[in-house]
Structure 1
Amino acid sequence: MNAEGHPAIADRYDVVIVGAGLAGCALAQALARADQRRRRSILVVDLHRGVSPRFSGEFIHPRGAQVLDDLGFYNRLVAAGAVDVDGFVVTQSGEQDDPVVLDYASIPGERPRGLSVHHKTLVRVMRQTLRDREQVTLLEGWRVVDLLRDGERTCGVVLTGTEGELRIRCDLVVAADGKASTVRKLAGVPDGRQTLGFTAGLEVTGAKLRHPLHANVILGGPGPMLCYPISRDDGQLSFRLTFDLPHALPAKGADLSRYLIDAFLPYLPGPLAESVADALHRHKGPLELAPTFNLPAPPATAPGLALVGDAAGCSHPITASGMTMGLLDAKYLAREARRRADVSADQPWLDDGSLRRYRIEHDRYVPTRQALADSIFEAFRGEGEGARGIRRALFRYWRSGERQRVRSLALLACAERRPRIFLAEYLKTAHHVLASSFAPRHALHFPVSDRLRQVQGAVGLAGTKVGVVAQVAWSQLRPF
């Protein structure tokens, strides 16, 4: 620290990580642990002093929770109020007494529970943990405005803050600055982001749920709702309830709260609906809004540059896979650093071969995850007959056997990444759509025209996903 209490900043580091959220902090910690000889230096820079005010991810699958445990964050997070979670419960409108329960403990070889934590608690604890690492310097309140280049290779960053400008050179820049990554833009990496809509988030204390330690997906309203615990204080749970909203918001300000009460609350279980209505009426839980994006995975590496977390691709948050993917990115990039732990300090810590291997591992997860998120989003929010058919078939598929529930949850939780498994399970769901479309029914209740629309919609969706899975397979097989 200098005389003003700010960290002393060098003009060169081995690695500069832009973004001190989940992925950036996890990567810094993982790299520091990989540097057992303590010869390397890591700078983590973030625009915000303290925790960002933005509403962001909070639910972490077991594989991500294991990474947090391996890196020494898990116990600190639990001590700060984080909650162990058991999986998902999915409820259709009018079927609250017969939900589909997807338990993490059913996945062979996986940690039996995930973790859920208030986002601000998560970032605060992770940043505080980083301050104990000798090799890591955390710099808050600075903005990246340019990248330094040596030909086509990124070799540093230009930062601006209240104290002026800094030009810092390094062997590797890591973009961990989220969906709208500044580093990705400055590097000229293609940005195919599409805004899908918004997520409205509300914090509710003491809500009563049949499955309080699961993420409860509740269908029936204009969009899916998600309710999960985010903190535990003296034994009492606080929950996050999110509402999926379209790109063109149906209401704003105080009118949005009234819209949520009218359009969504009738589909919530009675005790939960009462808690939510009370929070909205009395303003106990300020409504937070965050845009939802689909960003098809861009190239995750370039000479001197790596992308991690949402900067390397993101999907609709309905599958809650974004946090886990950011942690897995940190794990795999740090694994490459451990491979080169004995390389002399005057050589790059992570060379081009390291980045190539990281990208191959990254691409084994991200495209499959995105295809799954797209499919779930289409089924849960889609308004056409094809989407409704897929939704009904998905429930029939889940209820057809334990193996189906386990496989789909393994895909959802990033424990299964093989594209052939995703394709096989998706086609089984499509089979349920076609079977139900041709099942005998009274013509007055299900006329032929409706059956044909359902079949056409289902076939169209299935065909789209076959194409997506082909792209997934190519992403894992293509040469680099």
Structure 2
Amino acid sequence: MPGPESAEYDYDVVISGAGLAGSAAAILLARRGVRVALLERRSDPGAYKVLCTHSLTANAYPVLDELGLVPALEEAGAVRNEARWYTRWGWITPKPAPGGPELPYGYNVRRSTLDPLIRSRAAQTPGVELLLGHRVTGLLREAGRTVGVRATAPHGEREIRARLVVGADGKDSAVAEFAGMRARSYENTRFGYLAHYRGLPLPGGIGHTWFLEPDMAYAFPNDDGVTVIAVLPDKERLPAFREDLEGSFSAFVRALPEAPPIDAAERVSKIIGTVDYPLLSRKPTAPGIALVGDAALTSDPLWGVGCGWALQTAQWLAEAVAPAATGRGRLDRSLARYARRHQWRLRGHQHLAVDFAKARPFNPAEEMVFSAAARDASMARHMHLFASRLIGPVRFLNPLMMAKATAVNIRHRGAPPAPDRAQDGRGTA
């Protein structure tokens, strides 16, 4: 039987899912000379993910830049995601150091804008064939590895052979299911609902997140003057929300410190959400298969990292496997390289997210850093780097920063919380 490097293939790579991760992977692979079939189960090229934080954290900016999407996002009205965070010690508002560079940023942009934009770019990329209305119904296997997919198509069933199958089909990935790539599931003891408003002013015109211990909420301004507000309460509150969703949602938002004035704004969407959103982790590769985005790792939506990680994992995969996907290298070795990078870069973040999903109050280390960040400008910038996923947990909680946080808090012991000291740039540079 011919091996994977000598067999005839319809494409080098077939990707299931033409959302954010799949479209990005298709573009980046095709630019490296890979022939890509990009399958999307929905027939509408304008389809988009509805339940989302609509946040592209700053870690995704280099990928957006490589994709050439930054000018298009700016033109579409995407909002640079400057933000402040409420804690029991006051507000944390990161600002650039005096005379220093601007803080790294990503974008807040609705998926109704983002998904069709990146999918259209993928369809226009030489080497990519976008196949709408194609749903993967099985995998083709030879000699213990995957060599393609079976799919339902507008004109019947078809088989598509490829050296590599990429699952970019979300947390309930059919590719992973057919391949027997089981997910490890972690309970999320919060539930979440969100709604979109037009004409909703936020202080400073920037995003807001509330750490209420254990409840959470955020408000992010997006394109076209639309702001998304999400509430993520402890499941102890779930019976009240089930009894009166509209009333409970509105009451929760009105009770927030510096609450967004939702009664003076126009709500332009239904209140949507989920009462059960576990965190999932899968091994990101198998023989002939790679998973990207939520298919490999689904984190807690309260952190807003899913879109950024979708783009990053697409980039890591393209960098690792492109030569081997065209037959110029060992695919298994390339997949192992992708898996190592995926786990090295994301496992620590997911570990913290899994722990915080227990709807617990801050632990002592978090108390130390969050309280210092509310009191000191340089600690607020350190928080920004972690929230943007530009540094990992080891750097976030490294001994030097913990010592600095301790010193900041000792200086402020017994003093009342200052009103947004970090907001005007005061504090240690």
Aligned pairs (5 A) from 1:85-124: 85-86=81-82, 88-92=83-87, 98-103=90-95, 112-124=104-116
Structure 1 pair 283/402, CA: closer, same or farther in 2 (3 Å)? closer
How far apart, CA to CA, are the structure 1 residues paired with 2:48 and 2:275?
Answer: 15
- Secondary structure at the aligned position of 2:398 is classed as helix
8 Å Cα contact 2:40-2:133 kept in structure 1: yes
Structure 1 pair 169/103, CA: closer, same or farther in 2 (3 Å)? farther
How far apart, CA to CA, are the structure 2 residues paired with 1:42 and 1:111?
Answer: 36
Q: Per-residue displacement from partner, 1:230-275 (whole Å, max 9, x unpaired)? A: 114xxxx3211111145573346782010122334211425x2x3x
Residue 3 of structure 2: aligned partner: none
1:421 counterpart (395, 406, 412) = 395
Structure 1 pair 26/48, CA: closer, same or farther in 2 (3 Å)? same
Structure 1 pair 283/229, CA: closer, same or farther in 2 (3 Å)? closer
Q: How many residues align?
A: 400
Structure 1 pair 238/350, CA: closer, same or farther in 2 (3 Å)? farther
C-alpha deviation, 1:71, in angstroms: 0.8
Structure 1 pair 142/326, CA: closer, same or farther in 2 (3 Å)? same
Residues 1:139 and 2:127 are matched in the alignment: no
Residue 45 of structure 1: aligned partner: 39
How far apart, CA to CA, are the structure 2 residues paired with 1:398 and 1:141?
Answer: 49
- Secondary structure at the aligned position of 1:131 is classed as helix
Q: Partner amino acid for 2:156?
A: G
Residue 360 of structure 1: aligned partner: 340
Residues 1:244 and 2:242 are matched in the alignment: no
Residue 203 of structure 2: aligned partner: 210
Structure 1 pair 292/178, CA: closer, same or farther in 2 (3 Å)? farther
- Secondary structure at the aligned position of 1:172 is classed as strand
Aligned pairs (5 A) from 1:205-354: 205-213=198-206, 215-220=207-212, 223-232=215-224, 237-246=225-234, 249-251=238-240, 255-270=244-259, 272=260, 274=261, 276-278=262-264, 284-290=268-274, 293-337=277-321, 340=323, 347=327, 351-354=331-334
Q: Per-residue displacement from partner, 1:114-159 (whole Å, max 9, x unpaired)? A: 1111011110111111121121111222221111111321111111
Q: Per-residue displacement from partner, 1:264-293 (whole Å, max 9, x unpaired)? A: 4211425x2x3x2355xx754321214663
Structure 1 pair 110/152, CA: closer, same or farther in 2 (3 Å)? farther
Residues 1:198 and 2:198 are matched in the alignment: no
2:63 counterpart (60, 67, 79) = 67
Structure 1 pair 141/426, CA: closer, same or farther in 2 (3 Å)? farther
- Secondary structure at the aligned position of 2:42 is classed as coil
Stretch deviating more after TM superposition (64-73 or 284-293): 284-293
Q: Partner amino acid for 1:300?
A: P
Structure 1 pair 198/46, CA: closer, same or farther in 2 (3 Å)? farther
Q: Partner amino acid for 1:178?
A: G
Output the aligned Cα RMSD.
Answer: 3.4
Q: Partner amino acid for 2:123?
A: R
Q: Partner amino acid for 2:105?
A: R
Structure 1 pair 110/324, CA: closer, same or farther in 2 (3 Å)? farther
How far apart, CA to CA, are the structure 1 residues paired with 2:390 and 2:276?
Answer: 24
Residue 478 of structure 1: aligned partner: none
How far apart, CA to CA, are the structure 2 residues paired with 1:400 and 1:425?
Answer: 19
Q: Partner amino acid for 1:23?
A: A
How far apart, CA to CA, are the structure 1 residues paired with 2:48 and 2:364?
Answer: 40
Aligned pairs (5 A) from 1:375-386: 375-378=355-358, 381-382=359-360
C-alpha deviation, 1:353, in angstroms: 1.5
8 Å Cα contact 2:95-2:103 kept in structure 1: no
**Unpaired runs of 5+ in structure 2?**
1-7, 415-429
Q: Partner amino acid for 1:260?
A: F
C-alpha deviation, 1:186, in angstroms: 1.0
The alignment's TM-score, normalised by the length of structure 2, stands at: 0.82
8 Å Cα contact 1:14-1:170 kept in structure 2: yes
Runs of 4+ in structure 1 over 6 Å off: 108-111, 388-391
8 Å Cα contact 2:193-2:274 kept in structure 1: yes
Larger RCO: Structure 1 or Structure 2 (Cα < 8 Å, ≥ 6 residues apart)?
2
How far apart, CA to CA, are the structure 2 residues paired with 1:104 and 1:302?
Answer: 43
C-alpha deviation, 1:220, in angstroms: 3.6
How far apart, CA to CA, are the structure 1 residues paired with 2:373 and 2:68?
Answer: 36
Structure 1 pair 75/254, CA: closer, same or farther in 2 (3 Å)? farther
C-alpha deviation, 1:427, in angstroms: 9.7
Residue 78 of structure 1: aligned partner: 74
8 Å Cα contact 2:321-2:331 kept in structure 1: no
Structure 1 pair 31/420, CA: closer, same or farther in 2 (3 Å)? same
How far apart, CA to CA, are the structure 2 residues paired with 1:408 and 1:285?
Answer: 32
2:17 counterpart (13, 16, 19) = 19
Residues 1:31 and 2:29 are matched in the alignment: yes
8 Å Cα contact 2:187-2:357 kept in structure 1: no
The alignment's TM-score, normalised by the length of structure 1, stands at: 0.74
How far apart, CA to CA, are the structure 1 residues paired with 2:71 and 2:231?
Answer: 30
8 Å Cα contact 2:369-2:379 kept in structure 1: no
Residues 1:188 and 2:168 are matched in the alignment: no
C-alpha deviation, 1:28, in angstroms: 0.6
C-alpha deviation, 1:311, in angstroms: 0.9
Q: Per-residue displacement from partner, 1:72-96 (whole Å, max 9, x unpaired)? A: 122222222212222x311136x7x
Structure 1 pair 268/116, CA: closer, same or farther in 2 (3 Å)? same
Aligned pairs (5 A) from 1:374-453: 374-378=354-358, 381-382=359-360, 387=362, 392-399=367-374, 401-417=376-392, 420-424=394-398, 428=402
**Unpaired runs of 5+ in structure 1?**
1-9, 441-480
